[in-house]
Structure 1
Amino acid sequence: MTLQTNAAMPSPIPGGDPTPRSASRVSSKLVLRVVAGVLAACILLGGFAVWHPERLPAPIGDWVEDLTGVNAHPVVLRLPQNRPLSAVAQLGRDIFFDASLSASGKQSCATCHSPDHAYGPPNDLAVQLGGEHMNLEGYRPPQSLAYLYRQASFSIGPDQGDMDTPAPTLAALAASASTVQRAQKTAGVAPAAPAMVPQGGFFWDGRAMRLQEQAIAPLTNPVEMANPNTHAVFMKLQKASYINRIKQLFGPTVMQNEELVLDEAMFAVTRFELEEPSFHPFTSKYDAWLQGKARLTRAELHGLRLFNDPDKANCAGCHLSKPSPDGLPPLFTDTQYEALGVPRNPHLAVNKDPKFYDMGVCGPFRTDMTEQTQYCGMFLTPTLRNTATRHAFFHNGVYHDLQQVMDFYNFRNTNPDKIYPKDASGKVMKYDDLPAKYHANVDVADAPFDRKAGDAPAMTDDEVKDIIAFVQTLNDGYKP
């Protein structure tokens, strides 16, 4: 109606007010409404700041994102292709689930790496049971086999620029890095640390260079599948229902070389882990949010901000949360090694010996880096994808839920009495799972470990809850 009335009115008087009176009234009302709306918004935001000052972001774009839960900058992710499994991968699948390859006849790869539990342990034990009679404790909690498709081999220092130049040995690289100051890690930024710390590899200590080696090792581990030697595994493979497929795929003469048979069989397992989509599905709520297909709750968005904040949780300093520049989805690990000083797990059988210390990269299960003591206490940073579904955390399984994990990060330096036991005199035994001469290796530079005893923890209880809420968005299986 207003538009029709204005259209019928005479043209404005030259040199006079160019706006007709009725239109002016409408504009005045509109201005009043806008002003009133802005005032109301200011009052609303002021109240929000009073009640939740820590959740009030500064940029207006972030504020809008907070209210809607939508990613303001969606991306196109380069996801692994979903194709039918090759014949070799199908063979690997059968081997992966074959419990007859163990000494007990009851343990397969899938026993400790359950497909129903993100290829991690299916229970809440700190370590898994194995051995000939399935009654021996393992040394460490099995890591998930998911999201390893981009894991590089173990190395120290930058990649070689000239491929014709012989690569230096690990010992030479480690020695050259021993006097270099440790780089501080900050959220969302690729740290300079690769030049100074180990990276890549498989197992908690990186002793397996390739997935194939990772698959072979449990077969003869006395507390896992417990075969006395590789010959025993070869004899089991000869009796397997898929032996003819091994001959067809790798040639009948393969059976003349026991080592080669085992190598090819584990190559097939590797192909299964690389080709099977469920090992890297990228179906979490966070993946959907990155692509603009899901809304995060206010708690989840706040948790993400704290996760990335280099002065707060700083989780993204090691658990990289942003897609790569070319669109590869984040794996939530920088695949590097850290000495965190987690407390000793007194319940592990191996820890009943007070002289035993699991020192990760420098031993005892890895033997080629024992001389590089600057790496003692360092363990591989695992992916946080699906970590909220796990029930054993860190290399010794000392914690069993995310609240305990966050408390460790929050209180390790500010309130160590909440984290570590006390000796007979009442003194807190800080870093009690690492010999005192290696305590200097423990990270005290990166937030939240940059606090001192008596300081306020980096995170409040509510902030910890929001971080956990965000980490739960990394579980696969979300349906928008």
Structure 2
Amino acid sequence: MLHRWRWMLRGSCVAAAWLLLSGSEAEGYRWNLPAWVPPPVVPADNPMTVAKVELGRHLFYDARLSADGSQSCASCHHQDKAFTDGQALTVGVTGEQGARSAMGLANVAYLPTLTWANPQLTSLEVQALMPIFGEHPVEMGMAGREAELFLRLQADATYRRLFARAFPQEAGQGDAALYSLSTLTKALAAFQRSLLSFDSPYDRHQYAGDASAMSASARRGEALFFGEKMECYHCHGGFNFTDNIQHLRLPLVERGFHNTGLYNVDGRGSYPADNPGIVEFTGEDSDRGRFRTPSLRNVAVTAPYMHDGSIATLEEVIRRHYAIAGRSTSGAGQPSPMRSELLVGFEVSDDEVNDLVAFLNALTDTRFLNDPTHGNPWPRAVRLPSRE
């Protein structure tokens, strides 16, 4: 169970005060952000460094972090899909299927809550432990095999160099300190914080004054998106298109969880037992069916949609879900009575659907999707040696 090792990071990741770092203060690390984007917040015990990000990138793409050497973090987070995987639900090394889809990692540094339905999981350092060592569901399957994992890493000359550069203080304390859950998760978290996406056609049009960056259709879709008819912006607002946000210039963290009326199993607004929403952690019945609002940046490449991957296209999301104020699976065919009051439904024409989709397409940052600094650094697939 996770409690076997969670205590090892509790002091550093939970009790540590948040240190607000600008690019010039983060030990030489430069965020390279546009002027209109505030720097992220970084935990005091894990400042950003180039060496730490590079180590994290190698770890992220290394299948040796899984029990049988078949999966890496990147197996469920593909760069060309904005670090989602194109699947409705994730599947682990044992074949066990998860209850939710893989979330995109673009601009994850700005998110105060990191998963669909766990409001208590707020640290990238802690979250990194879940796919590697978690047992419900099993993803990478390394629970109880921590020592084996670190032996694998120590055996690689590339890692011996990268770990020592990223954690020079720990390197002077011996292998036990250098190859640990703490250094592993800090490096993975640092790499994920470096995944910044702010160069979409919308950004160039809105902030750089490039009038040609968006089509006329996309501009009409923008008006619909930010208008009162569809009210998309209420939950998908701000520079990251979500109501979950934290950054240097924001005095208070904002967190948004909503029931979008995706299910209505018994006519009373219930959700499937294996996917109930944040009620699983809060115990409040009013939280049944409430999930975190995802960012819409790069949304065009992150299908299928919703937390369970149950809607295939953006057109269907608009027509068959939000336009009818939440779909229903109840026998009576009624939307969930627990759906957010922000979902009121709307009439929509074919042209309006096309325009709104054109706007959502304009949130795609192709430079981010192809940036080699975010890609696989290994010259070939890294797997465990054959046991045959």
Do they fold alike, i.e. is TM over 0.5? yes
Partner amino acid for 2:51?
A
1:301-312 aligned at under 5 Å gives the runs: 301-310=219-228, 312=229
The question of 1:458 aligning with 2:373 is answered no
Aligned partner letter, 1:333: T
Show the counterpart of 2:142: 227
1:284 to 200, 210, 223: 200
Match of 1:113 among 52, 71, 77: 77
Q: 2:24: which partner in 1?
A: none
1:78-129 deviations in Å (ceiling 9; x for gaps): 4769xx96111111111111101101211111111112221111x3x21122
User: Out of 414, 420, 434, which is 2:328 matched to?
Assistant: 420
Q: Which one of 297, 300, 310 corresponds to residue 398 of structure 1?
A: 310
1:127 is aligned to: 89
Given that residues 385 and 475 in structure 1 are in contact (C-alpha distance below 8 angstroms), is that contact kept between their aligned partners in structure 2? Answer: yes
Provide structure 2 residue ranges, at least 5 long, that are not aligned to the other structure.
1-33, 41-47, 245-255, 266-270, 369-388
Structure 1 equivalent of residue 356 of structure 2: 467
- Inter-CA distance 240–77: structure 2 relative to 1 (3 Å threshold): same
Instruction: Report whether the alignment pairs 1:256 with 2:161.
Output: no
> What one-letter code is carried by the residue in structure 1 that aligns with 2:231?
N
Residue 79 of structure 1 contacts residue 282 of structure 1 at CA under 8 Å; is this kept in 2? no
Distance 1:294 1:240 in 2: 50
Equivalent residues of 1:201, 1:209 under 8 A apart? yes
Alignment partners' CA distance in 1, 2:366 and 2:49: 21
Partner of 2:98: 138
Aligned partners of 1:344 and 1:398 also within 8 Å: no
Alignment of 1:17-416 (within 5 A): 77-78=36-37, 86-121=50-85, 123=86, 125-132=87-94, 135-151=95-111, 200-205=112-117, 206-222=119-135, 223-229=138-144, 231=146, 232-241=148-157, 242-243=159-160, 245-247=162-164, 249=167, 250-253=170-173, 255-256=175-176, 261-275=180-194, 279-290=195-206, 291-295=208-212, 296-310=214-228, 312-321=229-238, 330-335=239-244, 336-343=256-263, 356-363=273-280, 367=281, 369=282, 371-413=283-325
Cα shift at 1:213: 1.5
Q: When you count helix as a share of all residues, which structure comes out higher? A: 1
The CA deviation string for residues 139-174 of structure 1, in whole angstroms up to 9 with x for no partner, is 2111111111222xxxxxxxxxxxxxxxxxxxxxxx
Tell me how many residue pairs correspond in the alignment: 302
Cα separation, 1, equivalents of 2:133 and 2:303? 26
Tell me the equivalent position of 1:324: none
Contact 1:285–1:478 under 8 Å retained in 2: no
> What is the TM-score when the length of structure 1 is the normalising length?
0.57
> 2:374 maps to what in 1?
none
Aligned equivalents of 2:77, 2:367: Cα separation in 1: 21
Provide the secondary structure at the position in 1 that maps to 2:320. helix
Give the partner amino acid of 2:223: R
Change (3 A) 1:409 1:420: closer
Amino acid aligned to 1:88: K
Shift in Å, 1:240? 4.5
Structure number with the bigger relative contact order (C-alpha 8 A, sep ≥ 6) is: 2
Report if the CA contact (8 A) 1:362-1:373 is conserved.
yes
Deviations along 1:313-347, whole A, 9 cap, x unmatched? 111111115xxxxxxxx1111111111121389xx
Work out whether residues 298 and 365 of structure 2, in 8 Å CA contact, stay in contact via their aligned partners in 1.
yes
Q: TM-score, normalised by structure 2?
A: 0.70
* % identity of equivalent residues: 26
- Cα distance in 1 for partners of 2:113, 2:359 equals 28
Matching residue's letter, 1:420: S
For 1:281 and 1:356, locate their aligned partners in 2 and report how far apart those are by CA, in whole Å.
Answer: 35
Is the alpha carbon distance of 1:261 and 1:108 closer, same or farther for their aligned partners in structure 2, counting shifts above 3 Å?
same
**Equivalent residue letter for 1:87:** A
- Aligned partners of 2:334, 2:174: CA distance in 1, in Å? 55
Cα deviation 1:395-437 (Å, max 9, x = unaligned): 1111111011112344434xx7xx33453xxx32644xxxxxx
